[in-house]
Structure 1
């Protein structure tokens, strides 16, 4: 919501995230994780346990390998995980820092060594985790929280980051961007799996009912081609996921300021001796997140306020005194 003339634009986003596995009522915000468990000779290990633990929340998902040594987690939330696998007669192998991105299938092949289950072998995710999507033909790019926070923005609207992706063009800005040459109506713009497009205007690809600000966005997924059927309507998909709390308390405060002192004077204002337009933007707020019950329930609260005091130059035609009396003889007759 934006209001001009010194009035206030306020965006308030509050979320309480409860850790539970429930059926998704909207667009799924999950990814597929799969792989194999093998021994050092390359033979598969059937019946091995595989545990995935989300680092921030401590929530654990568990499955076992089938007779071919394959395991599958069909719907995992995005985040950073620790993956552990083991079996009778084998030591437990732990893969650290496994990154699961939204709409990006992940493959992790784990090798276990002969030994007692109580023994643990820790490896980095760089080796076992494959970053190549071999599950489907989607053309998908993800932007993590670190990228959302650190990449430069003009203001705090993160829809601008869509313009960094191949196939996304927007000469007039992200709002009216075109993805692979399609109309704005062909894009599906969602926030936490729920439609965020202005269905009244509808012609703009990235114009949402809720402003998408840097302070509360965790991840962005942009699918420019071959979107899967469960993504919903749209030839292209731009999905924004909000931040959530974890087992650790985190808080931040922020302030963004823009001032006309750093702007050039408009050519016409300068020619007419009029002072430059006043353009000032004040964006400030805070957020806090943490546990309600450790490993079970979490909260995240974000407050952001935007103030835009400013002025605009207006060009008007003012009649001369003779013209006000009905004498228009000063007007050239050749229309030149």
Structure 2
């Protein structure tokens, strides 16, 4: 029995494979100081997910620094408070997948019951700790932009740094072929691996499943690696509100124009009646 166990362990090592994965969670950090600019230790900083109500709490260290290393993507309310100071709150802080955001607090002397609220615009949350060049498609944009085949990856054609060249069915992405793009969902590769790689061999992605699409076309962070082009998708998560969706699309030749080849040969329109539910 013991020999069988040892043999099983050896086989596991011999036939093990590499698993490539990155985290899809965001990180949030910064400093807390007083009106004079001196850093304050021991300040309680809370990050509350508006959608789920989950609260994460931490304290600033001796240098006045706080850090949330792993927060689920979503909209947050971030508050810093300490006895003898007015509480300060950042509202509508939107954290994307694998995003690194820095928020600094400057507390004023006063009653802790007095609170200073600040609303943060999404486009002002610069990832100062990352040199990547990326574009982000939020959930609302994925839901509102037209998708004839209801495949999220069709939206990549309209992103900066991507496109198709004349006579090239493959196209290009960040200076490479589409087959060289690394595509992940929640940090795991979604390439089927049957025929091609990259966007040409990726599993179908419904827009109802996606919370965010981050397209990186330059200076890829080390934790992502594997290619200069990156597409990182994050799945939608549940909230405290019940929600759902349904769709139906119809593609019918009665409402479509004839193609160029039919017109050239004096043929009528080809019949088509395609329904998607």
- Normalising by the smaller structure, the TM-score range is 0.7 to 0.9
Report the counterpart of residue 61 of structure 1 in structure 2: 56
How do residues 140-151 of structure 1 correspond to structure 2 at under 5 angstroms? 140-151=134-145
Say which of 38, 52, 58 aligns to 1:43: 38
1:237 aligned to which of 230, 240, 265? 230
Distance 2:156 2:202 in 1: 17
Residues 150 and 278 of structure 1, relative CA distance in 2, 3 Å threshold: same
Residue 135 of structure 2 is aligned to residue 105 of structure 1: no
1:280 corresponding residue in structure 2: 273
Aligned to 2:253: 260
Match for residue 197 of structure 1 among 177, 181, 191: 191
Aligned residues: 257
Which structure has the bigger radius of gyration?
A: 1
Determine the structure 2 residue equivalent to 1:122. Answer: 117
Match of 2:149 in 1: 155
Partner of 2:142: helix, strand, or coil? helix
- Distance of 1:264 and 1:177 partners within structure 2: 27
The answer as to 2:186 corresponding to 1:180 is no
Q: SS in structure 1 opposite 2:220? A: coil
Which residue of the partner structure matches residue 8 of structure 2?
none
Query: Which residue is 2:14 aligned to?
Result: none
Q: Is the 8 A contact 1:157 1:211 kept in 2?
A: yes
Residues 100 and 271 of structure 1: is their aligned pair in 2 closer, same or farther, counting only changes over 3 Å? closer
Supply the distance in 2 between the matched residues of 1:208 and 1:185 (Cα, whole angstroms).
8
Q: TM-score, normalised by structure 1?
A: 0.69
Report if the CA contact (8 A) 1:106-1:130 is conserved: no
Shift of 1:109: 1.4
Judging changes above 3 Å, is the alpha-carbon distance between structure 1 residues 187 and 273 closer, same or farther for their aligned structure 2 residues?
closer
CA contact (8 A) 1:189 1:208 kept: no
Once residues 240 and 20 of structure 2 are traced to their aligned partners in structure 1, the CA distance between those partners, rounded to angstroms, is 26
Partner of residue 16, structure 2: none
Match of 1:165 in 2: 159
Aligned-partner SS, 2:27: strand
CA distance in 2, matches of 1:25, 1:206: 17
Counterpart selection for 1:32 from 27, 34, 45: 27
Are residues 1:81 and 2:81 paired?
Answer: no
Decide which moves more: 176-185 or 77-86: 176-185
* Structure 1 residues 21-63: Cα deviation after superposition (integer angstroms, max 9, x where no partner): xxx9932102221112122333322221111011111111111
Gaps of 5+ in 2: 1-18
Q: State the TM-score, normalized to the length of structure 2.
A: 0.83
In the alignment, the residues of structure 1 paired with residue 50 and residue 171 of structure 2 have an alpha-carbon distance, to the nearest angstrom, of 36
**Cα shift at 1:121:** 2.6
1:138 aligns with 2:129: no
Question: Which secondary structure state, in structure 1, belongs to the residue aligned with residue 155 of structure 2?
Answer: helix
Q: Name the CA distance, whole Å, in 2 between partners of 1:213 and 1:176.
A: 22
Higher helix share: 2
Residues 1:211 and 2:173 aligned together: no
C-alpha distance in 1, partners of 2:156/2:91?
30
Q: CA RMSD in A?
A: 2.5
Aligned equivalent of 1:6? none
Question: Which residue is 2:239 aligned to?
Answer: 246
Distance of 1:243 and 1:144 partners within structure 2: 11
1:225 CA displacement? 1.6
